[in-house]
C-alpha cells in the first residue's frame, strides 16, 4: 500500500498580530466527487477526500470515483499535472500538436500528455508511443513520481538504501526511483514488505503517492494550526499559527482534517490541531485579505 500525511506551516508576513480572512466558495461538482458513495469506508477514504480538494481526482459522470480501479497512463499524467496546479497550462497545451503518435489531437488527455512530456514526466517508448489507455504498473508509477520530484526541485535520486522483500523483482530501470521514493516515505510496501513492481496501480494508490509528493513540497495543506476559538453558526474559526492569530471563514465545503480524519466545523474544539484545505480547481475559489 502507498500512503502518507502532513502540510506546510502557513506563514503570514508583516506583523506580530495578523488576521487572515479566507472565504472558500462552493464547488459543487468537486464536492460530489469527494463524497461519492464508493469511497465511504475505503482504506483511502480520507486521502481521496483530500485529493478531491486538491483537484487531483474527480468523479466519473455516474458520480463514482472507483478507487480500486486500475489507473491508466493517461489518468496518471492528468493527476500529476493537476497536483502541480497546471490545469490552465494543460488546457493551452491541448491546442498544440501531439508529441506521441498514439495520443492524437482529439484525445481527451492530449494537453496533459503534452505538458507532462514538457515537464519531463512522460517520455514515451522508442516508437514515440505513450500507451495512454494501458494500466500503469507500480514500477512505472514510481519512475514518473520520481521525475515529478526532480521537476519540482525537491530532491534528486539516489542516496537511499530503502528496499523491499521483493527487491530482486524490481526492474533495473525503476530501481533507483523506487529506492529513493521509499527512502523519502513516498512509497511503501504491503504488510509483507513487498513492493509488487509489476502489479497495476489503483486510482487510490496514485492519489496517495501524489499527496506525499505535495507533502515533500510543503503544499499539501493550506493552513495547519491549533484551534483557539470556533463558532459553527458563523463558520468562523480562529487558529494559532506560531505567534499569529488567523481567522478562517469556512463554508460547508472547506476541508478540515483532525488526526488524519476529515471533520466538520461542529466537530472541532478549542485546542485541537487541525489542517485546512481549500478546494482547488476554480479561479477565484478563495479570496485572501490581510488586516493589521
Write the pLDDT tens digit of every residue in 124-172: 898 989 999 999 999 999 999 999 999 999 875 555 567 899 999 999 9
SS3 117: helix
- Supply the pLDDT for residue 9: 34
More confident call, 257 vs 280 = 257
Q: Is it the case that residue 120 has pLDDT exceeding 90?
A: yes
All three cell numbers of 206, joined, read 496514485
DSSP category for residue 70: B
Which triple of cell numbers denotes residue 125? Answer: 517508448
The residue that leads in pLDDT, 20 or 141, is: 141
If you average pLDDT over every residue of the chain, what do you get?
82
- Say if CB 103 and CB 130 are below 8 A apart: yes
Q: Write out the DSSP string of 201-230.
A: PBHHHHHHHHHHHHHHHT-S-SEEEEEEEE
Average pLDDT over residues 6-18: 33
Whether 151 and 121 have beta carbons less than 8 Å apart is answered as: yes
C-alpha angle 91/137/54, rounded to 5°? 40
What is the C-alpha separation between 265 and 258, in angstroms, rounded?
11
22 - beta bridge partners? 288
Return the SS3 of 112.
helix
Q: What are phi and psi of 276, to 5 degrees?
A: -120, 135
β-strand 19-24 against 286-291: which pairing, if any? Answer: antiparallel
User: What order do you get walking across the sheet with 19-24 strand by strand?
Assistant: 261-263, 255-258, 273-277, 223-231, 236-241, 244-249, 19-24, 286-291
Domain ranges of the chain: 28-217
pLDDT tens-digit readout, 34-73: 445 789 999 999 999 999 999 999 888 888 999 999 999 9
State residue 36's pLDDT score: 59
182-213 confidence digits (pLDDT tens): 999 999 999 999 999 999 999 999 999 999 99
Percent of the chain scoring above 90 in pLDDT: 63
Q: Greater confidence, 15 or 209?
A: 209
Question: What 3-state DSSP class applies to 149?
Answer: helix
Amino acid at each position: 500500500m502507498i500512503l502518507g500525511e502532513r502540510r506546510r506551516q502557513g506563514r503570514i508576513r508583516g506583523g506580530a498580530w495578523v488576521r487572515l480572512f479566507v472565504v472558500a466558495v462552493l464547488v459543487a461538482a468537486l464536492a460530489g466527487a469527494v463524497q461519492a458513495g464508493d469511497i465511504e469506508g475505503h482504506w483511502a477514504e480520507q486521502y481521496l477526500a483530500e485529493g478531491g480538494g486538491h483537484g487531483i481526482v474527480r468523479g466519473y459522470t455516474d458520480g463514482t470515483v472507483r478507487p480500486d480501479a486500475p489507473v491508466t497512463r493517461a489518468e496518471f499524467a492528468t493527476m500529476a499535472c493537476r497536483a502541480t496546479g497546471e490545469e490552465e497550462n494543460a488546457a493551452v497545451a491541448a491546442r498544440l500538436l501531439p508529441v506521441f503518435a498514439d495520443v492524437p489531437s482529439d484525445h481527451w488527455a492530449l494537453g496533459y500528455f503534452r505538458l507532462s512530456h514538457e515537464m519531463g514526466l512522460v517520455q514515451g517508448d522508442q516508437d514515440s508511443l505513450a500507451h495512454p489507455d494501458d494500466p500503469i504498473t507500480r514500477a512505472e508509477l514510481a519512475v514518473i513520481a520520481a521525475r515529478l520530484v526532480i521537476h519540482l526541485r525537491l530532491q534528486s535520486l539516489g542516496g537511499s538504501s530503502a528496499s523491499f522483500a521483493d527487491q530482486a523483482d524490481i526492474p533495473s530501470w525503476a530501481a533507483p526511483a523506487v529506492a529513493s521514493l521509499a527512502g523519502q516515505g513516498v512509497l511503501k510496501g504491503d504488510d509483507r514488505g513487498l513492493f509488487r513492481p509489476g502489479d497495476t496501480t489503483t486510482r487510490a494508490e496514485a492519489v496517495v503517492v501524489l499527496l506525499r509528493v505535495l507533502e515533500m513540497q510543503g503544499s499539501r495543506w493550506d493552513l495547519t494550526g491549533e484551534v483557539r476559538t470556533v463558532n459553527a453558526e458563523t463558520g468562523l474559526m480562529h487558529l494559532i499559527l506560531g505567534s499569529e492569530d488567523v481567522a478562517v471563514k469556512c463554508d460547508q465545503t472547506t476541508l478540515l482534517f483532525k488526526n488524519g480524519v476529515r471533520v466538520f466545523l461542529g466537530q472541532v474544539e478549542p485546542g485541537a490541531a487541525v489542517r485546512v484545505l481549500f478546494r482547488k480547481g476554480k479561479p477565484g475559489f478563495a479570496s485572501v485579505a490581510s488586516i493589521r
